[in-house]
Chain A
Amino acid sequence: MYTKQIMDRFLSPKNSGRMIGADGTGSASNLRNGETARIYLRVNEGIIEEAKFKVFGGITTIAVFDEAMDMLKGQEAINASINEEEIVSHLGFIEAERLYVFKLLKDTLADAIKDYEKRQKRLELKKIKEQARESANKDN
């Protein structure tokens, strides 16, 4: 039913758990079966350094998210994407009725990137305001 690669990822996930001080977090749910996920991203100079996940979901979902987190590392955060074929190839085989997991993965990642961009804009705004304050102080 499950490949050895899926079972290995399920039994010993490398990227599961909460991340303190993440630069972007995103959540999504599959309304059909209630599966819910959260992704945490740590980003340095626009590049994803670390990605972690939490999942309320089955064996395949845990394995796919764990594999995907490895794939995200090193990608530019705002353009980060998931290659379904590559994940399936790494995990050996995924039953057709479980392929819905990729929508959950993509929705969760999109939400995390959106959150990262929002936080970045907030930081930029803060920076601009600080610079404006500094230059106003200088002028005075």
Chain B
Amino acid sequence: MQKIYLDNAATTKVSNEVLTEMLECYGDTFGNPSSIHSFGREASALVDKARDRVASLINAERGEIYFTSGGTESNNWAIVGLALANRAKGNHIITSAIEHKSVLEACKRLERLGFEVTYLPVDKTGLVDIAKLLHFITHKTILVSIMAANNEVGTIQNLKAISKIAHEKGVIFHTDAISAVGNFKIDVKDLEVDALSISAHKFNGPKGVGALYVKKGVKIDNLIVGGEQEKGKRGGTLNVPQIVGFGKACEILQENYIIDCKKTKYLRDYFVNTLEKEIPNITINGHLHQKTPQIASVSFNNIDAEALLCLLDLAGIAVSTGAACDAGSVEPSHVLLAMGKSIEEAQSTIRFSFGTNNTKEEIDYVVAELKKDVERLRSISPLKAKK
């Protein structure tokens, strides 16, 4: 059976070039980069090279990149670390209602510690209301954290405007760019962000490694303690093979992202256009233009997405009902609800996320399969089609 992967927002396949560089680190270059002998120095040199590559991708300085175990740790660390380090200035944090759980749960943890958190609403396209951001900033606000691009619907936020407002009020700005890096150019200097989270496996790097960019001079407390690694800011022996793979993935992305994004956007748009012609009563979610080229979030009204996902899986097609971190949850997506969707609409939504390896032929097959499966599930749905 043909197997088609349309879940590239959940994770991507590690590229061969990345794997080749990683495998070398499982050979003779096995030293601990913190060791001062030659084995350690060799490993340390590889980590430095990787750090340069990550920094170069987002136009940061080498010293501003801290390696982590992935996106969740980067987001947890940014929220908790920045809040605790700047507590003397205030105890108010502003984020949005559509953030990833790794941001929202970190905020909830801070609320239990006495911080106040404002969760900004979004409009029906998933955009944060800039006027509301301005309205809610007070003299007690110390941190604004708004994601660069949403992982479920792909909507890209007005980052420059957000950072400008935050900085005019003397507030630190963090952005979760995990679903953005790989989908459009991220330049930390141009965007004027103070902290930014990245994860390697979203753009053909390995899982279990990410980074937090922290602008020089910005104060951040440790999340993980007990080691002098990462200039004493993040304890734990560095995972050299993963870090090396991460660095290589950044280098490849920097060379190819313009062409890759064009190809992915072409495939995504072809899918959406074909789908709209073939299947009635569907809704494409997110912003019409201001969204990542990778994602198409589609509500197949009146049918349950989990049932549809299962039928697609049996036909060899891999998609998801939302964030992979929420898989298994029977609750509707908090992102779609925040965008004003009903519970039924949220439960009818599937995320298709494309990669450069997908083809038009695959998309034709997926649409044909969808047409069949949607008709089947609608025939047993008690909900009526919208006129």
The distance from the CB of A140 to the nearest CB of chain B, in whole angstroms, is 49
Interface residue B281 (Cβ < 8 Å from any Cβ of A): no
Q: Which of A32-40, A43-51, A71-79, A116-124 is near enough to bind chain B?
A: A32-40
Residues on A with C-beta less than 8 A from B383 are 36, 56
Contact A35 B307 (CB under 8 A): no
Residues on A with C-beta less than 8 A from B328 are 97
Residues on A with C-beta less than 8 A from B38 are none
**Using an 8 Å CB-CB cutoff, how does the interface string of B359-387 with A read, 1 for contact, 0 for none?**
00000000000000000000111110000
Residues on A with C-beta less than 8 A from B342 are 34
Residues of chain A in range 1-23 having any CB-CB distance to chain B below 8 Å: 2, 10-11, 13, 16-17
**Using an 8 Å CB-CB cutoff, how does the interface string of A40-68 with B read, 1 for contact, 0 for none?**
00000000000001111111011000000
Q: Which of B314, B344, B379, B382 contacts A37 (CB 8 A)?
A: B382
Cα distance A98–B307 in the bound complex, in angstroms: 14
The distance from the CB of B318 to the nearest CB of chain A, in whole angstroms, is 15
Knowing A10-B310, A16-B380, A55-B380, the reply to whether A34 touches B332 (Cβ < 8 A) is: yes
Contact A34 B381 (CB under 8 A): no
Interface residue B347 (Cβ < 8 Å from any Cβ of A): yes
Residues of chain A in range 62-107 having any CB-CB distance to chain B below 8 Å: 62, 97-98, 100
- Chain A minimum-CB-distance residue to B381: A56
Knowing A32-B331, A33-B347, the reply to whether A57 touches B379 (Cβ < 8 A) is: no
Interface residue B306 (Cβ < 8 Å from any Cβ of A): yes
Residues on A with C-beta less than 8 A from B331 are 32-33
Q: Which of B303, B330, B331, B382 has the most chain A CB atoms inside 10 A of its CB?
A: B382
Contact A56 B330 (CB under 8 A): no
Interface residue ranges, A against B (CB under 8 Å): 2, 10-11, 13, 16-17, 27, 31-38, 53-59, 61-62, 97-98, 100
- Chain A minimum-CB-distance residue to B343: A34
Contact A59 B330 (CB under 8 A): no
Contact B344 A54 (CB under 8 A): no
Closest 10 CB pairs of A and B: A34-B343, A54-B382, A38-B382, A58-B306, A34-B344, A16-B380, A56-B381, A34-B347, A56-B383, A58-B304
CB pairs A–B below 8 angstroms (28 shown)? A2-B310, A10-B307, A10-B310, A13-B380, A16-B379, A17-B380, A33-B330, A33-B332, A34-B343, A34-B347, A36-B344, A36-B382, A36-B383, A37-B382, A38-B382, A54-B380, A54-B381, A54-B382, A56-B303, A56-B304, A56-B344, A56-B381, A56-B383, A57-B304, A58-B304, A58-B306, A59-B306, A98-B330
Residues on A with C-beta less than 8 A from B379 are 16-17
Cα distance A7–B304 in the bound complex, in angstroms: 16
Residues on B with C-beta less than 8 A from A55 are 304, 380-382
Residues on B with C-beta less than 8 A from A54 are 380-382
Cα distance A10–B381 in the bound complex, in angstroms: 13
Residues of chain B in range 294-318 having any CB-CB distance to chain A below 8 Å: 302-304, 306-307, 310, 314
